[in-house]
């Protein structure tokens, strides 16, 4: 997971939404791996 992939060129709002999606995806991956 690379949190800096293009976030510097985005507005703060868009960057925050992208980070939230990345955290949600990481959580989903952890759940999938642990079962």
pLDDT at 4 over 70: no
Q: What is the pLDDT of residue 31?
A: 97
Q: Which residues have a Cβ under 8 Å from the Cβ of 19 and sit 6 or more positions away? A: 3, 7
Q: Give the pLDDT confidence of 13-34 residue by residue, as tens digits.
A: 998 998 899 999 999 999 999 9
Which stretch of DSSP H or E encloses residue 32?
helix 12-34
């Amino acid at each position: 997971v690379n949190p800096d992939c293009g976030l510097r060129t985005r507005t703060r709002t868009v960057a925050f939404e992208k980070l939230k999606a990345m955290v949600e995806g990481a959580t989903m991956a952890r759940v999938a791996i642990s079962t």
